Amino acid sequence: MKYLVTGGAGFIGSHLCEYLLDRGHRVHVIDNLSTGRLENIDHLLDHPRFRLTVDSILNPFAMEPLIQDTDMVFHLAAAVGVKLVIEQPVATMETNLMGTEVVLKLAAKHGTKVLISSTSEVYGKNSKLPFAEDDDCTYGPSTTGRWCYAYSKALDEFMAFAYMQERRLPVIITRLFNTVGPRQTGRYGMVIPRFIRQALDSKPITVYGSGRQSRSFTWVGDVVQALFDLSESEAAVGQVFNVGNDERVAIEDLAQKVKLMTGSASRIVYIPYEQAYNRNYEDMEHRLPSLRKINRVIGYRPTMDLERILRQIIEHMRREAGSAKAAGGNSLLLSR
Ligand code: UDP
């Protein structure tokens, strides 16, 4: 098969590319390298079945030949991380809304199947746990910057369903819950790489708010497997699926766990949201996926619990820091 992966130089995209190449498929990536990084796909650039186009998904002239020439699109390009969303709302909305519109319009024109990656953010501050795919979504006001991400991704989902209904486009929608693994950086606010880096650097581990808010973290390998299995499933077409892990942890307990597992002397400090995000900010209290639907359709179960996930990422970040040091890059990786 020939696959187009938008945002393929990003954290999840690069793992998906590896997975597809390993299975003998051809992969074309389009990425504007804004949050995606060339170093994520460096090792793939010489692969005979891999191609990269550095351009924006907002550019229909770049996108059309790619979509025309592919069997399926994994649409992963999106604004990434709460920090970036709050700091760059225009880019967030443009990428999420206009970018997805370009993908859907061209895919409909050429009859190309699309898997859209959406997010657990679309559940908003719904307090009924776990979140099931047809549960209500509850958002805050447009004056609170954080919600622009949830609104924009929810609109992407509406748009995908609309193209399915009116233009018969085969689409699958996936809501990803806090995906973690090697190559994710803490630069865009993501808590696990941030906590581990802080612990390894013996710097304070920064818990925002009360620390009682909770998340469930999914290993990137489980996510990639789920995306691929859904893409192969006829029963998945026209449906929306949670892709996550149903082991939940409070953020302050996560900080303790990271401190313990790294053997770090770091202090755990509590930082008010206003100070952390510099804006009128509202956090999502809890997030936990129901995995019943995805389990029923493709037999999905996460393979990695939090302990193993943390162990793997700690090892990876230690290795990365070690090789940067050996290469004379000293604290470049550690300071991000
Ligand atoms: N968080 C934290 N300290 C950090 C970064 C994040 O306490 O240095 C918190 C954040 O406020 C949220 C949770 O960790 O409650 C997960 O944040 P992340 O940005 O990773 O993902 P989100 O679930 O908010 O999209």
Q: How far is the CA of 190 from the centre of ligand 1 (A)?
A: 6
Q: How far is the CA of 90 from the centre of ligand 1 (A)?
A: 22
First to last CA, the chain: 37
Q: What does the pLDDT average to over 197-212? A: 97
Ligand 1 and 194: CB distance under 6 A: yes
Percent of the chain with pLDDT over 70: 97
Pick from 221, 218, 246, 241: which is nearest to 231 by CA?
A: 241
Cα separation, 255 vs 259, whole angstroms: 6
Q: How far is the CA of 217 from the centre of ligand 1 (A)?
A: 11
Query: Measuring from atom 13 of ligand 1, which residue has the nearest CA?
Result: 191
pLDDT attached to residue 328: 65
pLDDT attached to residue 322: 83
Ligand 1 and 80: CB distance under 6 A: no
Ligand 1 and 196: CB distance under 6 A: no
State the closest ligand 1 atom to the C-alpha of 189, by its place in the atom list counted from 1: 19
Q: How far is the CA of 213 from the centre of ligand 1 (A)?
A: 9
State the closest ligand 1 atom to the C-alpha of 195, by its place in the atom list counted from 1: 8
Cα separation, 209 vs 277, whole angstroms: 11
pLDDT attached to residue 320: 86
Q: How far is the CA of 305 from the centre of ligand 1 (A)?
A: 19
Active-site residue flag, 163:
no
Q: Where are the domains of the chain?
A: 2-180+218-245+287-302
pLDDT attached to residue 333: 38
Pick from 98, 187, 152, 150: which is nearest to 287 by CA?
A: 150
Write out pLDDT tens, residues 26-81: 999 999 999 999 999 999 999 999 999 999 999 999 999 999 999 999 999 998 88
Ligand 1 and 145: CB distance under 6 A: no
State the closest ligand 1 atom to the C-alpha of 192, by its place in the atom list counted from 1: 20
Write out pLDDT tens, residues 96-123: 999 999 999 999 999 999 999 999 999 9
pLDDT attached to residue 336: 29
Class of domain 2-180+218-245+287-302 (CATH, top level): alpha beta
pLDDT attached to residue 330: 43
Report the predicted TM-score, pTM, of the whole model to 2 decimal places: 0.95
Ligand 1 and 117: CB distance under 6 A: no
Write out pLDDT tens, residues 222-280: 999 999 999 999 999 999 999 999 999 999 999 999 999 999 999 999 999 989 887 67
pLDDT band at 213 (very low <50, low <70, confident <90, very high): very high
Ligand 1 and 183: CB distance under 6 A: no
pLDDT attached to residue 279: 66
Q: What is the mean pLDDT of the chain?
A: 94
Q: What does the pLDDT average to over 200-220? A: 97
Q: Out of 149, 151, 163, 277, which one is annotated catalytic? A: 149
Res. 157: pLDDT tops 90: yes
Residue type, 174: T
Write out pLDDT tens, residues 214-235: 999 999 999 999 999 999 999 9
pLDDT attached to residue 332: 38
